[in-house]
Amino acid sequence: MWPWEHLAVGYILVSLWARATNRRLDSRAALAVVLGTQFPDLVDKPLSWSFGVLPSGLSFAHSILVSIPLALAVVLVARRFEMTTVGVAFALGYLSHIPADLLYSGFFFGNYGALESFLWPISYGPESSGVGLFDQTWRFFRRSLGYLRRPEAWVLVLFELLLLGSALRLWISDGAPGLALLKRSVNGIRRSVTR
């Protein structure tokens, strides 16, 4: 999945959790969702594709043997500091990443053997170590564009519209958490550049 798709899936789950538990999502929780949904790719892809430390871009941080204990630890630490909503937002975002990758690659690209990728260090997906972050990203981008030329691509386009539209609608109805933080950050950057 692409980063925006992971973010949409994770935000939907966190928003539904917040509604079910009568919690309010603020900028910190929104940032936690962003970080959580991207965390596995931010760890595994550079460590594999650029540095060759991991065997595959789907290994260490994508592993359920790592992600579940790490997500629980984040929630427990956040709870200790009375930031449970932030911890759960990160954990749900992180844990949503793994099944989303599995379902997406299986359903749209027929890669049902990807399950082994999520059991590192017992097993891992196809080796992709040292191919280069930008080269590998470009390869996946070209593959996605190639898929969009196929007749059945309308299913993916419809899925994308529903997924992103649902996440956007929930985010707006949640009061657009994180927007104020983004505006402050952009204004701070703008001020520092114009000095």
Closest CA to 66 of 31, 46, 58: 58
Report the share of the chain in percent with pLDDT over 70: 94
- Mean local confidence (pLDDT), 145-151: 87
The pLDDT-based confidence of 18 (bands split at 50, 70, 90) is very high
Q: How many domains does the chain contain in total? A: 1
- Mean local confidence (pLDDT), 9-24: 97
Q: What CA–CA distances, in Å, run from 82 to 79, 121, 126?
A: 5, 33, 41
Closest CA to 84 of 8, 29, 15: 29
pLDDT for 96 beyond 80: yes
pLDDT for 10 beyond 80: yes
Q: What CA–CA distances, in Å, run from 2 to 38, 87, 88, 144, 185?
A: 9, 23, 22, 10, 24
pLDDT for 149 beyond 80: yes
Number of other residues whose CB lies within 10 A of the CB of residue 64: 13
166: containing domain = 3-194
Range of lowest pLDDT (47-51, 130-134, 145-149, 185-189): 130-134
Structure tokens at 9: 């899936």
Q: pLDDT (tens digit, 9 = 90+) per residue, 36-84?
A: 999 999 999 999 999 989 988 888 999 999 999 999 999 999 999 999 9
Q: pLDDT (tens digit, 9 = 90+) per residue, 97-138?
A: 999 988 877 666 666 666 777 888 888 777 776 778 888 889
